Amino acid sequence: AQTVTQSQPEMSVQEAETVTLSCTYDTSESDYYLFWYKQPPSRQMILVIRQEAYKQQNATENRFSVNFQKAAKSFSLKISDSQLGDAAMYFCAYRSGPDYKLSFGAGTTVTVRA
Amino acid sequence: DVKVTQSSRYLVKRTGEKVFLECVQDMDHENMFWYRQDPGLGLRLIYFSYDVKMKEKGDIPEGYSVSREKKERFSLILESASTNQTSMYLCASSLEGTQETQYFGPGTRLLVL
C-alpha cells in the first residue's frame, strides 16, 4: 500500500505571506497522480491542484503551486499571498495510474493570521 | 457544478443499531466512494463502486457494507454500530476512469454511544 506522509500537523502564516506545506510519498510505480485537497471548516473537501507524475512541469493554480520532486518523492504545496479564506486543513493524496483509490496523508491545518 | 449531498450532517446512534448513511450525486458519475476521516489518520477508503450494483472493498471494510441500486445513490451501512465507528464519513464521486477527479460531499459526523 502506498504511504503518504505530511509531517506538519499545523502551520501558521501571516496574511499576504507565503506558506509551504510538505508531503512525501512512497511508491514503486511510475504512473501515478498527486493531489492537494482543501477542507475548510465547513467540511466540504475541494480539489486545489493535481499533478501527473509523467509531467515534469510543476502544476500551478492561481496562488497555489507545487514543487514536484519525483526522484525524492516529494510534493509540496506553496500558497502565495495567503488570504483568510485559505484557512483550512490541507490533504496530500496519491493515486496509482490504473487505480481508483486515493491514499491520503494525515493532513496539515493552516491558520492565517490577520 | 458537481453536487454531492449526504443525508445528515450529524447523527447520534446507540451501540448495536443499524445505521444507514446516504449519498447522492447529481452529475451522472459512474464512480462513488465512502471514506472515513479520523484525526491524525487522514481519510481512509471503506468501499467504492464503479457501477450500479458493483462494489469493491477499500482499506477498512470491516463492519461496513454498501448498496448501490441506482447510479446516483450510494449507501453505507453499519450493520451493528460500535463506538469505534464514531467518525466523520465522507462520500465522493467521479466520472468513469481513473484519471478523473473525485468530488466530495459535506460529510456526516457520526457519534455512536
Query: pLDDT for A55-72, tens place per residue?
Result: 889 999 999 999 999 999
Residue B47: is its pLDDT beyond 60?
yes
| Cross-strand pairs, B4 | B25
Residue count (chain B): 113
Residue B88: is its pLDDT beyond 60?
yes
Of A43, A44, A107, nearest to B42 by CB-CB distance is A107
Least confident residue range of A56-60, B47-51, B97-101:
B97-101
Give me the sign of the Cα torsion angle B30, B111, A108, A110.
positive
Could you give the CA distance from residue B25 to residue B6 in angstroms, rounded to a whole number? 9
The reported pLDDT for the residue numbered A98 is: 76
Residues whose CB falls within 8 Å of the CB of residue B66, separated by 6 or more in sequence, listed in order: B34, B46, B47, B49, B55, B74, B75, B76, B77
Is residue B95 less than 8 Å (CB to CB) from chain A? no
Mean local confidence (pLDDT), B16-24? 97
For residue B35, give how far its alpha carbon lies from the nearest alpha carbon of chain A (Å).
Answer: 10
Could you give the CA distance from residue B113 to residue B102 in angstroms, rounded to a whole number? 32
Could you give the CA distance from residue B10 to residue A55 in angstroms, rounded to a whole number? 41
* Chain B residues within an 8 Å CB radius of A6: 42
Mean local confidence (pLDDT), A36-45? 88
Mean local confidence (pLDDT), B59-78? 96
The reported pLDDT for the residue numbered B96 is: 79
For residue A113, give how far its alpha carbon lies from the nearest alpha carbon of chain B (Å).
Answer: 23
Q: Report the greatest alpha carbon distance in chain A.
A: 43
Is residue B59 less than 8 Å (CB to CB) from chain A? yes
Mean local confidence (pLDDT), A84-103? 90
Among B48, B93, B98, the strongest candidate for a mutation testing the A interface, having the largest count of A CBs within 10 A, is B98
* Chain A residues within an 8 Å CB radius of B92: 45
Residue A110: is its pLDDT beyond 80?
yes
Could you give the CA distance from residue A59 to residue B71 in angstroms, rounded to a whole number? 33
User: Do A50 and B107 make contact, defined as CB atoms within 8 angstroms?
Assistant: no
Could you give the CA distance from residue A83 to residue A85 in angstroms, rounded to a whole number? 5
User: Do A44 and B99 make contact, defined as CB atoms within 8 angstroms?
Assistant: no
Could you give the CA distance from residue B3 to residue B106 in angstroms, rounded to a whole number? 10
For residue B112, give how far its alpha carbon lies from the nearest alpha carbon of chain A (Å).
Answer: 20
Copy the grid coordinates of residue B32. 462513488
Please report which confidence band the pLDDT of residue A13 belongs to, taking 50, 70 and 90 as the band edges. Answer: very high
Could you give the CA distance from residue B7 to residue B19 in angstroms, rounded to a whole number? 12
Average pLDDT value for chain B: 93
